[in-house]
Amino acid sequence: MVEHAPKMIVVTGAAGFIGSNVVAALNARGRSDIVAVDSFRHRTKDTRYLHELRIHGTVDKDQLAQWLDEEGAAVEAVIHQGACSDTTARDRGYVIALNTDYTRMLWQWCTRAGKPFVYASSAATYGDGLQGYDDRADPRTLKPLNLYGESKQLFDLWALEQGHAPPRWAGLKYFNVYGPREAHKGRMASVAFHAYHQIRQTGRVRLFKSHKDGYADGGQRRDFVYVGDAVEATLHLLDTPVSSQAPNGLYNVGTGQARTFADLARAVFAALGRDPMIEYVPMPEDLRDRYQYFTQARIDKLRQSGFTRPFRPIEEGVRDYVAYLQAQESSEE
């Protein structure tokens, strides 16, 4: 158990991708008073990201509710990044319990305790995008394409209906985040991650063919956002007082600019100093009916809240990411 300490920030999913980058960003601000929450008791993936970061202590996710009841007076805020992020998951009970019910428990605790609550929603809530990607529109019209997106949507809708809420709350609809500390995600890791390793191993990149009219092979377009930028937007909303310009609610976190997968692959080749060699392969059957061909965040609401930091274009973000991956390889040799 974590010992009592003043002004602690709870970060769930702290051993995962965005969560570990949140911890790293807090460390960069000089903060190590962080309680890292994750599936420590039954974890099968490694916790190497936490080993290189400074934290106050850890709590297993299954023990967090009890810990908050006992030690919550010392908590300053909760940043909830923990989730089942597998977009191919089919176990409805498991995904809803983890992504919807668990988030509800944290919301209710933060409401009772009067603590700020920032949590990860997802651009997957927008489904096929026919309703657009506007975080100011009525989210009840959205139809996610997979169970992951549905579980996030269920919580978003529940949160918006609550008469009692944390003093500051924000649900972050992250678009296609890529960057350091995602190696453990396997198949769910970003295309940038897979492209880097494919180029290193074979000299070429494999991308999905298009199975939709109007999109060329590799012409599927996504809003790719570098994880460092996504984290800064997250901390901005945590830090910014509630106002008419920065209300509680849902916020898109993306660049506002869609780019093709082919663009992303070429950026990886350029960062490695190689000529592009792209091979197009059929999309797996289990993805075709639940695949987003276009995402592009409307970020007016985020900008209005005072977040003026420019988002890195993929050429810049990929260059930084490739340098990180190369440094990781060098350190393991």
Cα separation, 204 vs 256, whole angstroms:
29
| Mean pLDDT of the 281-293 span | 85
Q: Which of 185, 215, 280, 324 is catalytic?
A: 185
| Mean pLDDT of the 140-150 span | 93
pLDDT single digits (tens) 194-225: 999 999 999 999 999 999 999 999 999 999 99
Cα separation, 170 vs 148, whole angstroms:
19
| Residue that is written with structure tokens 């019910």 in the block | 101
What residues does CATH 3.40.50.720 cover in the chain?
Answer: 8-177+224-256+298-304
Q: What are phi and psi of 247, to 5 degrees?
A: -75, 165
185 is catalytic: yes
Q: What pLDDT shows up at residue 333?
A: 63
Please measure the distance between the N-terminal and C-terminal CA atoms of the chain and give it in whole angstroms: 36
pLDDT of 291 over the 60 cut: yes
| Residue that is written with structure tokens 């007076």 in the block | 73
Q: Which of 133, 148, 178, 291 is catalytic?
A: 148
| Mean pLDDT of the 230-236 span | 98
Q: What pLDDT shows up at residue 330?
A: 85
pLDDT of 332 over the 80 cut: no
Are residues 189 and 45 in contact, defined by beta-carbon separation less than 8 angstroms? Answer: no
| Residue that is written with structure tokens 């209710």 in the block | 108
Cα separation, 246 vs 168, whole angstroms:
10
Helices (H) and strands (E) in the chain, counts: 12, 13
What residues does CATH 3.90.25.10 cover in the chain?
Answer: 183-222+257-295+314-324
Cα separation, 112 vs 167, whole angstroms:
10
SS3 233: helix
| Mean pLDDT of the 1-16 span | 79
Q: What pLDDT shows up at residue 46?
A: 66
Question: Quick one: which of 295, 259, 290, 260 has its CA closest to 278?
Answer: 260
Cα separation, 182 vs 311, whole angstroms:
19
Q: Quick one: 8-177+224-256+298-304 is in which CATH superfamily?
A: NAD(P)-binding Rossmann-like Domain (3.40.50.720)
Are residues 118 and 80 in contact, defined by beta-carbon separation less than 8 angstroms? Answer: yes
Can you say whether the dihedral through the CA atoms of 232, 104, 251, 131 is positive or negative? positive
pLDDT-derived band at 289, boundaries 50, 70, 90: confident
Strand partners, 168: none
Question: Quick one: which of 82, 154, 86 has its CA closest to 119?
Answer: 82
Are residues 220 and 264 in contact, defined by beta-carbon separation less than 8 angstroms? Answer: no
Q: Which fold has domain 183-222+257-295+314-324?
A: UDP-galactose 4-epimerase; domain 1 (3.90.25)
148 is catalytic: yes
Specify the pTM: 0.94
pLDDT-derived band at 87, boundaries 50, 70, 90: confident
More confident residue, 73 or 187: 73
What percent of the chain clears pLDDT 70, i.e. is strictly above it? Answer: 96
